[in-house]
Amino acid sequence: MKLRASAVVLFILTVATPVADAQRLARTSVFAGGDVENYLRYLQTLGLVPLYPWGARAFSPTEVDHLLPADTSHPWTAAYDFTSGPRGFSFGWVSPAASARFNTAFPYGFNDGPIWAGRGLTLVADGGFQARRGGLSLTIAPLAFVAQNTAFPLMPNGATGNQVYGDGVQWAHIDRPQRFGGSSYARLDPGQSTLRLEWRALAGGITTANQYWGPASEFPIILGNNAPGFPHVFLGTAHPVDLWLVRLHGRLVWGRTSQSAFSHEPAATGLRYSSAIVLDVTSRWVPGLELGATRFSHQPWPPGGPTFNDLLDMFRVGQGNKTNLAAVNQLASAFFRWVAPRSGFEVYGEYGRDDYNQNFRDFLLEPDHIGGYTIGFRKITRRGAKLLAVRVETQNLQFSHLARGRGWAPFYTHVALPQGHTQDGQVLGSEAGVGGAGSVVAIESYSPHGRWTWSWTRLIRQQRGDPAGATQVDPHGVDVQHAVAVERLHFGRRYDSVARLTAVYELNRDFASDAFSLNLILGLRLGAR
């Protein structure tokens, strides 16, 4: 397989190539949900990074320039060059990296973009460059991986052919394979690549980069980095626009979402046209507070492609010019984030829906039909030359008691569009959403030499039974993972190294017996500028 060979070669070359000692270039390292972005978010709560809305990511190069700290009193000031891009033309490398992941018993991993790490060994390589001139910027940052994808027991789903690899419970309503086929699996993805043009307060472009909407760190309801980014064009504000009473920042998106080879839908009809919007509002009178909303709409790819009439589909909630709105998959959320200035503390929350109300009466009866929330907080303190942080986040998208009066379905699933809210077989939002709930508690220590992270994560992978509570309790009806992890990021003279070990204990795996697996990640990234 050519892709497998090229991924392995790139892995070897990346690890073996020596470079001179150099600071990493921070402005080419900030991607949605990434390590440097997370670090800047902590610095913002300490007042070292200006207050800025966090609910409409990925950040543009111009926004990153605004977020880079001028103050050097933080641990990573020697490891990264936090200066903004020069005026005129600039060029910088997206530092090449390689990693190896190994799962001993079953697949494990989420919030890692295009990567799907099955059982066995998975090799990953990525890198690229960023070029800028004035308001025009180009980032090319592809990613390649090859997964050994060793066999493990699948949950029988009653399907045949390729679809036996589909989801164990909702295989006909969501494109979320348990395993990506019966042999090794490889992928070359354009990754965080973007062409962007800014003119005054406006910005537009085309991208395949992950979008992270809302304030969540681990469990975003609408969009995050759990799946590959989907190709789309966008138009919005280049920065928050001051309307005196409020500052408004937003983005409109029109794109194409695709399915895996294991979807219930035939490949010939598997493409979807997706449109979306995110709005984020701040105010000069309440520093650090942001309020926002999102909406996302899927529909079958129109014959001949989308037309002008399809541009505002993300706003359409009534019949409009659609003869069957039930065939459109619509999601929405509202969120808030409040950073207490210079306190090291922030709190946030998001409420989401995977359905629309048919009319105002329906809204009054069941405003939270197929709805749920994510809430969390983060706190960081200085300890000499170190920063010590704790972050806590929990999500609940489980079945509601409202199901006693009306039909209910797991979040992100859909009957008419059986791919659900996915891209290439992975959930565009939260990995915990289909099962219904997730929580994480993490403690992080930042020093001039890198970072330590200790974390505990709980995910409900799937659940079954009668949400009305009329039948007998099923002792194996909830499939739950508990994962304890320790991760070390170390800044070396030439390379950054990362090592992560996760112990995963799963109760009632596939509604059967308990299971245990180890997940190991080892990686290197060049300190290239």
Mean pLDDT of 126-154: 97
Predicted local distance difference test score (pLDDT) of residue 327: 80
pLDDT in tens, 32-69: 999 999 999 999 999 999 999 999 999 999 999 999 99
On the question of pLDDT at 156 being above 70, the answer is yes
From its phi and psi, is residue 7 left (phi > 0), alpha (psi between -120 and 50) or beta?
alpha
Q: Residues with Cβ < 8 Å from 161, sequence gap 6 or more? A: none
Please count the CA atoms within 13 angstroms of the CA of 525 that sit on its side-chain side.
22
Predicted local distance difference test score (pLDDT) of residue 248: 98
Tell me the three state secondary structure of residue 416.
Answer: coil
Predicted local distance difference test score (pLDDT) of residue 4: 47
From its phi and psi, is residue 112 left (phi > 0), alpha (psi between -120 and 50) or beta?
alpha
Residue 16's pLDDT band (cuts 50, 70, 90): very low
Residue 17's pLDDT band (cuts 50, 70, 90): very low
Residues of the chain with pLDDT > 70: what percent? 91
Helix (H) / strand (E) element for 372: namely: strand 371-383
Please count the CA atoms within 13 angstroms of the CA of 155 that sit on its side-chain side.
21
d(CA 483, CA 268): 39
Please count the CA atoms within 13 angstroms of the CA of 175 that sit on its side-chain side.
28
pLDDT in tens, 315-354: 876 544 444 566 889 999 999 999 999 999 999 999 999 9
Predicted local distance difference test score (pLDDT) of residue 408: 73
Please report the sign of the dihedral spanned by the C-alpha atoms of residue 463, residue 230, residue 42, residue 236.
negative
Predicted local distance difference test score (pLDDT) of residue 292: 98
pLDDT in tens, 499-518: 999 999 999 999 999 999 99
The beta-strand segments (E) located in 107-179 are: 120-133, 136-140, 143-147
Residue with tokens 């992975």: 426
The answer to whether 346 and 338 are in contact (CB under 8 A) is yes
pLDDT in tens, 222-265: 999 999 999 999 999 999 999 999 999 999 999 999 999 999 99
φ, ψ for residue 366, nearest 5 deg: -140, 75
Tell me which amino acid residue 370 is.
I
Residue 435's pLDDT band (cuts 50, 70, 90): confident
In this structure, what DSSP letter does residue 317 have?
-
In terms of Cα–Cα distance, which of 86, 94, 56, 51 is closest to 69? 51
Predicted local distance difference test score (pLDDT) of residue 295: 96
In terms of Cα–Cα distance, which of 466, 468, 500 is closest to 485? 500
Strands 80-81 and 24-25: what pairing? parallel
On the question of pLDDT at 85 being above 90, the answer is no
On the question of pLDDT at 19 being above 60, the answer is no
The full set of domains in the chain, from first to last, is: 2-526 (2.40.160.130)
Predicted local distance difference test score (pLDDT) of residue 249: 98
Predicted local distance difference test score (pLDDT) of residue 405: 61
Mean pLDDT of 1-13: 43
On the question of pLDDT at 407 being above 80, the answer is no
Tell me the three state secondary structure of residue 413.
Answer: coil
Strands 194-199 and 232-237: what pairing? unpaired
Hey, which of 352-361, 396-405, 495-504 has the most confident mean pLDDT? 495-504
b/e string for 45-78 if b means 16 or more Cβ within 10 A? Answer: bbebbebbbbbbbbbbbbbbeebbbeeeebbbbe
Predicted local distance difference test score (pLDDT) of residue 475: 85
On the question of pLDDT at 496 being above 80, the answer is yes
Predicted local distance difference test score (pLDDT) of residue 318: 54
On the question of pLDDT at 3 being above 70, the answer is no
Average pLDDT, the chain: 90
Q: Residues with Cβ < 8 Å from 431, sequence gap 6 or more? A: 110, 111, 219, 226, 438, 459
Q: Which residue has the higher pLDDT, 408 or 158?
A: 158
Q: Residues with Cβ < 8 Å from 475, sequence gap 6 or more? A: none
Tell me the three state secondary structure of residue 386.
Answer: strand
On the question of pLDDT at 313 being above 90, the answer is no
In this structure, what DSSP letter does residue 390 have?
E
Predicted local distance difference test score (pLDDT) of residue 6: 45
On the question of pLDDT at 189 being above 80, the answer is yes
Long-range contacts of 309-313 (CB under 8 A, 24+ apart): 310/273, 310/275, 311/254, 311/275, 312/275, 313/273, 313/275
Helix (H) / strand (E) element for 64: namely: helix 61-67
On the question of pLDDT at 5 being above 60, the answer is no
Q: What is the pTM of this model?
A: 0.93
Tell me which amino acid residue 189 is.
D
* Preceding peptide of 78 cis, ω within 30°: no
CB atoms within 10 A of CB 285: 8
Mean pLDDT of 467-482: 79
Predicted local distance difference test score (pLDDT) of residue 18: 40
d(CA 445, CA 107): 28
